[in-house]
Amino acid sequence: MIETWRWFGPKDTISLRKIRQAGATGIVSSLYDIKTGEAWPLEQIIEQKEMIEQEGLTWEVIESIPVHNNIKTRTGDYLRYIENYKISIENAAKAGVFTICYNFMPVVDWTRTNLNYTLSNNSQALRFEMTDFAAYDVFMLKRKGARDSYSAEVMDKAESRFSQMNEEEKAALEKNIIAGLPGGEGSYNRESIGEAIQQFVDLGTDKFREHLFLFLNEIIPVAERVGAKMCIHPDDPPFSLFGLPRVVSTADDAQALLDACPSPANGLTMCAGSYGARSDNDLVQMVKRFAPRIYFVHLRNVIREADGSFYESDHLQGDNDMVGLVHALLTEERRRQSSDDPNDNNILIPMRPDHGHTLDDEQRDVSVKPGYSYLGRLKGLAELRGVIHATSHIMDSKL
């Protein structure tokens, strides 16, 4: 696999030099100054690509070209935004970046309730706490029908939890949920998020899925023509929030998406942490099932709880079988190496150590993005590199 690292562009406090010293060879990045919906200029893609290459690295994956909400609802100026998206794909390919990760989550991108959850060793992790989320949804956002989204047990805990929150804790919870997270598209306030949520709730799951497929039928032929690979990121978390539709949460969702547009340019991002937050997703079997269409991998682990809560654990310790997952991915790479199919030209799969704990020194650094600390990802990458190396060695010895 190609070891990559998420880099937030020239303004990132983690330099390309530090990334190279961490052992990564590839970069996963975006053009963060381009407004969502606008076409990416070829010159800016080339400029950032050259900046990356000057440090001896390669720009392996674009993560992401955001999809405007008007495309998701097919309202307003959505046709112009689709045309701009096509231009961005074409320009990325002209610049020599051919793998594009994107998501189709409505309103909120990846969602957590606690960005500094303290673990037993005093490092800090990202956490989704169902009780806190329900408390926000029901008692702060006051979404219509919100109580029906939660069990009586969760509601009892949420009401008790909310009654004990001070104003500072309420503000922090709201910021964590709706104010935009690293890698997200932006932020909402309480009024605007309520309006956006209702628009998608009214749309419904079936119609939302139809809009995704219509979008794919527009952009995938462009990607196929220019040699690009589109790989959709799953919902995070992979279940409904705020009553919103979710359409990339399960193996059946992934199969429906691939069937809707059966092109080799239409692929998946295997995010172990996102898919793995559901106990009914067998990640190893999903890799085996969808292997030829997996073009990008996020490797991270989670520890799940019965009510849907979870936190991000060490990369090799959690509910996801990381060794089995790596073995399945390496098996697919070897299949591609021996294949005569021109669609298998992406032999090596880019992977990045997704998220990382915030360790001691970085906890006092206000510039550190939760989930994107240098030391935490350095630790995760080193652990994953060891698993990949050992698994490859064992597989080689059996040949």
Query: Using 50, 70 and 90 to split pLDDT, how confident is the model at 344?
Result: low
Look up residue 176 and give its two tokens. Answer: 């964590």
119-139, pLDDT tens digit by residue?
999 999 999 999 999 999 999
**Domain ranges (residues) in the chain:** 2-113+193-397
Q: Could you tell me the pLDDT band of residue 323, with boundaries at 50, 70 and 90?
A: very high
- Whether the CB-CB separation of 130 and 200 falls below 8 Å is answered with no
Q: With both helix axes pointing from N to C terminus, report the angle between 78-95 and 42-53 in degrees, rounded to the nearest 10.
A: 40
In this prediction, residues 245-255 reach a mean pLDDT of 97
pLDDT-above-90 percentage for the chain: 87
The DSSP call for residue 139 is I
- Does 366 score more than 80 pLDDT? yes
Does the annotation count 233 as an active-site position? yes
Burial (Cβ within 10 Å: 0-12, 13-18, ≥19) of residue 373: buried
* 331: CB partners within 8 A, 6+ apart: 291, 395
Distance of CA 253 to CAs 70, 101, 293, Å?
22, 17, 14
Compute the average pLDDT of residues 368-372: 92
Instruction: Please compute Rg for the chain using Cα positions.
Output: 20
Amino acid at 155: M
What 55-58 contacts at long range (C-beta under 8 Å, 24+ apart), as own/partner pairs, is 55/16, 55/17, 55/19, 55/20, 56/20, 57/16, 57/19, 57/20, 57/24, 57/25, 57/26, 57/27, 58/25, 58/26, 58/27
* pLDDT tens readout for residues 22-81: 999 999 999 999 999 999 999 999 999 999 999 999 999 999 899 999 999 999 999 999
The residue annotated as part of the active site, out of 233, 315, 327, 357, is 233
Q: The domain 2-113+193-397 is classified under which CATH number: 2.40.50.140, 3.20.20.150, 3.40.50.300, 3.40.640.10?
A: 3.20.20.150
Q: What is the pLDDT of residue 347?
A: 83
Residue 182 has a pLDDT of: 45
Q: What is the mean pLDDT of the chain?
A: 93
Catalytic residue of the set 132, 271, 295, 327: 271
Contact 63, 28 (CB under 8 A): yes
Question: Is the backbone of residue 243 left (phi > 0), alpha (psi -120 to 50) or beta?
Answer: left
- Res. 260 pLDDT band, cuts 50 70 90: very high
Q: Residue 197: is it exposed, middle or buried by C-beta count within 10 angstroms (0-12/13-18/19+)? A: buried
pLDDT of residue 127: 96
Q: What is the pLDDT of residue 181?
A: 46
Split at pLDDT 50, 70, 90, the class of 186 is low
Residue 277's pLDDT is what? Answer: 96
d(CA 265, CA 343): 9
The confidence score (pLDDT) of residue 341 equals 79
Asked whether the predicted pLDDT for residue 189 surpasses 90, the reply is: no
- Exactly one of 68, 211, 298, 315 is catalytic; name it: 298
Contact 4, 25 (CB under 8 A): yes
**Selection from 311, 271, 315 nearest residue 183 by Cα:** 271
In the chain, % of residues over pLDDT 70: 96
pLDDT at 118 over 90: yes
Q: CA 389 to CA 393: how far, in whole Å? A: 6
Asked if 81 and 219 touch (Cβ cutoff 8 Å), the reply is no
Q: Assess whether 393 carries a catalytic annotation.
A: no
Catalytic (active site) residue 298: yes
372 is a catalytic site residue: yes
Q: Which residue among 132, 354, 357, 374 is the active-site one?
A: 354
Tell which wins on pLDDT, 350 or 175: 350
Q: Which of 315, 327, 355, 357 is catalytic?
A: 355
What pLDDT shows up at residue 178?
79
Q: Which residues of 355-371 are buried (b: 16+ CB within 10 A; e: fewer)?
A: bbbbbeebbeeeebbbb
Active site residue 211: no
What pLDDT digit, counting tens, does each position of 276-302 carry?
Answer: 999 999 999 999 999 999 999 999 999
pLDDT higher at 205 or 398:
205
Give the pLDDT band (50/70/90) at residue 258. very high
Q: Is the pLDDT of residue 342 over 80?
A: no
Residues 63 and 29: beta-carbon distance below 8 Å:
yes
Q: Are strands 124-128 and 114-118 parallel, antiparallel or unpaired?
A: antiparallel
3-class state of residue 277 by DSSP: coil
Please report the pLDDT score of residue 184 as a whole number: 46
Q: Give the residue carrying structure tokens 């059996």.
A: 398
Helix residue ranges per DSSP H, the chain: 16-21, 42-53, 69-73, 78-95, 130-135, 152-164, 167-178, 190-203, 205-226, 251-260, 272-275, 283-290, 322-337, 374-397
Checking if the pLDDT of 399 tops 80, the result is no
